Amino acid sequence: MKIVIAKNYRNMSRLAADQVIEQIRNKPSSVLGLPTGHTPVELYHDLVLAYQQEIIRFKKIVTFNLDEYAGLESGDKRSYHTYMKTNLFNKIDIQSKNIHILDGATKNVKRECVRFESEISRAGGIDLLILGIGMDDHIGFNEPGSDFKSRTRLVKLAETTREANSKYFGSLKRTPTAALTVGIGTIMEAKKIILLADGKKKAEAIARAVNGKIDPQVPASILQKHPDCTFILDKGAAAKLKS
């Protein structure tokens, strides 16, 4: 894997945006895999700016989000559907038929997960997948112990993940206990992957993923085996890497 160290969160986001812009310019019908959470907020901001400045268009772009909380309706203000609309989709010219986000409120989880996987295949696979990383090394919501061959499914969230996300729900008690997520097998099939991480609190997770052994207890460690994976980190997240 390739490691790029940016001086701060702002620069990390800018470097990631440059890569996404290049991808879109090279292939205007690219299929993108997208994360939510704190990490990509500025990346999305930069992509919106690039759209407003007519550097890129999203008319032919197809997107697949990595995950959604189980039990949340898409209209819920804390859902990843709402997050994506607020941070990106409502501000660009993407066509709603090209947006794919798992339905966390589905009554038929199995069918929903199979549908998602088959839509990824029908789109020709993911060209560029952006990832964040959890403090426990999760990617998507594939928590430690997830099978490296796993596909889209319902998962239980680790307590550390619930704690990290409880700020969006007001309390730990109100934070969902489960989510629908693409699998590690699904992630590894993306043609190109960029993982973003900022801040010292991610430094241990990054060091385990990059310098540690490939181990299902460290889900992000499997990225060492991906043929085209770049980690774009700020100095804080890179602080514990062996040089």
DSSP letters, 79-117, are SHHHHHHHHTGGGS---GGGEE---TT-S-HHHHHHHHH
Annotated catalytic residue 112: no
Residue of 42, 137, 143, 234 marked catalytic: 143
Query: CB 39 → ligand F6R: shortest distance, Å?
Result: 3
What are the C-alpha distances in Å from 173 to residues 159, 163, 165, 177? 11, 10, 11, 9
Query: CB 196 → ligand F6R: shortest distance, Å?
Result: 8
Annotated catalytic residue 189: no
Annotated catalytic residue 228: no
* Closer of 52 and 159 to ligand F6R (Cβ): 159
* Closer of 127 and 136 to ligand F6R (Cβ): 136
* Closer of 139 and 233 to ligand F6R (Cβ): 139
- Residue at shortest CB range from ligand F6R: 132
Query: CB 134 → ligand F6R: shortest distance, Å?
Result: 4
Query: CB 130 → ligand F6R: shortest distance, Å?
Result: 9
Annotated catalytic residue 136: yes
Cα 44 from Cα 200, distance rounded (Å): 22
* Closer of 23 and 165 to ligand F6R (Cβ): 165
67-69 and 2-6 as β-strands: parallel, antiparallel, unpaired?
A: unpaired
DSSP 173: T
Q: Please say whether the beta carbons of 29 and 60 come within 8 A.
A: yes
CA-based max dimension of the chain: 49
Cα 239 from Cα 40, distance rounded (Å): 20
* Closer of 33 and 48 to ligand F6R (Cβ): 33
Write out the residues near ligand F6R by the rule CB under 6 A. Answer: 35-39, 66-67, 132-134, 138-140
Query: CB 197 → ligand F6R: shortest distance, Å?
Result: 8
Residue of 138, 198, 226, 234 marked catalytic: 138
Q: Say which residues have a Cβ less than 8 Å from residue 167's Cβ, sequence separation at least 6.
A: none
> Which active-site residues does the annotation give?
67, 136, 138, 143
